[in-house]
Amino acid sequence: MTLKLEELINIYPDDLYLEVYPQQREEAWSQTSNYSNQAARWNAYLNLLALKVFIAYLQEEPDLIIDAGTQGHGDAEKERFPSYVVRESLWEYDVQEQPLSIEFNDIDPGLSSIWEFLNGTAIKLGQTRLVIIPEEVTVISELSVPQEWVDIADWAADYYLGMAVNLEDGWLRIYGYATHQKLKEQGRYEPMGRTYALGEDDLIADLNVMWVARELCAAERAEIAPLPQLSLAQAEKLIAQLGKPSAYSPRLNIDFASWAMVLVNEQWRQKLYRMRSLSAATLSVTSTLSKALVRLSQWLEQDFGDALNAGWQQIIP
């Protein structure tokens, strides 16, 4: 069943609806080309597009983030929590009392290596951590969050926002959010896809509730078990195994604990990302050369032979 935007607004009046502009789509597509397969590229495209639209919304609503703190944003923390960072130190009022000017840091390069493997984008607003989960659907039944965003302590967020993206009609709907504690303790864990899911009825649709709550107190998080240690030799072996090109993410190919340890380490994750991208590029070049050689061989066997025979027939009386 496909519902039009007007029908959705009538059914879900508390949800936030944002316009997706053609320029945003074009920019997002052109900026997400370096991935090992089409599924990963589409995932990156959808995440970057959702990020662009959401950040544009935040720029238009500065009161939502003006009280965000700035502590805890050192390089080490950025590395543990690859994200789009909004820093209060870059906000400023013009001396001539022009509208508030907000600047944003560039997207952390680590996000590209995240989108190669799983859905979701992390955002920091001062001390608040958000993870947005975009899906290209119109009708939503639940919020489904990859386990990595929930069970890795350094990646866990305060709030998880579900986003439905309609590319054909050009809009994005934020249909609700959940806290880490609620997602972890009340969500349904799906072992086949390693996700935590909450039904739409269990989400809070009005984002104003979240903005107010983050000002009053920090969101409570459920307890997260620490990850086991992984030696360099073990990591190198897993990277070699997971780095082979495929049409899908390798996140389910090994146990979660081992996968999480590879993923959370910036150097290991980047190495795996580069290995898969390089392997895919090599296969593409090899495939192109093979097709060219086949065409050349066919030409030598058919067209060139026919031309040669025709030439001899003209020479020999």
Asked if the model's pLDDT at residue 263 lies above 60, the reply is: yes
Beta strands per DSSP E along the chain: 16-19, 84-86, 121-125, 128-135, 142-146, 159-166, 171-179, 188-190, 195-199
Asked if the model's pLDDT at residue 271 lies above 50, the reply is: yes
For residue 128, name the pLDDT band (cuts at 50, 70, 90): confident
* Residues sharing a CB contact under 8 Å with residue 50, sequence separation 6 or more, in sequence order: 121, 132, 134, 163, 165, 172
Tell me phi and psi for residue 22, to 5 degrees. Answer: -55, -40
Q: Look at strands 171-179 and 128-135 and give their pairing.
A: unpaired
Domain boundaries, given as residue ranges, for the chain: 5-224, 227-317
For residue 230, name the pLDDT band (cuts at 50, 70, 90): very high
Instruction: Give me the amino acid identity at 266.
Output: E
pLDDT of residue 216: 82
111 against 41, higher pLDDT? 41
Asked if the model's pLDDT at residue 301 lies above 90, the reply is: no
50-54, 73-77, 195-199: least confidently modelled range: 73-77
pTM higher than 0.75: yes
pLDDT of residue 109: 61
Taking the C-alpha atoms of residue 293 and residue 174, their distance in angstroms, rounded to an integer, is: 51
CB 210, CB 204: distance < 8 Å: yes
57-66, 116-125, 303-312: least confidently modelled range: 303-312
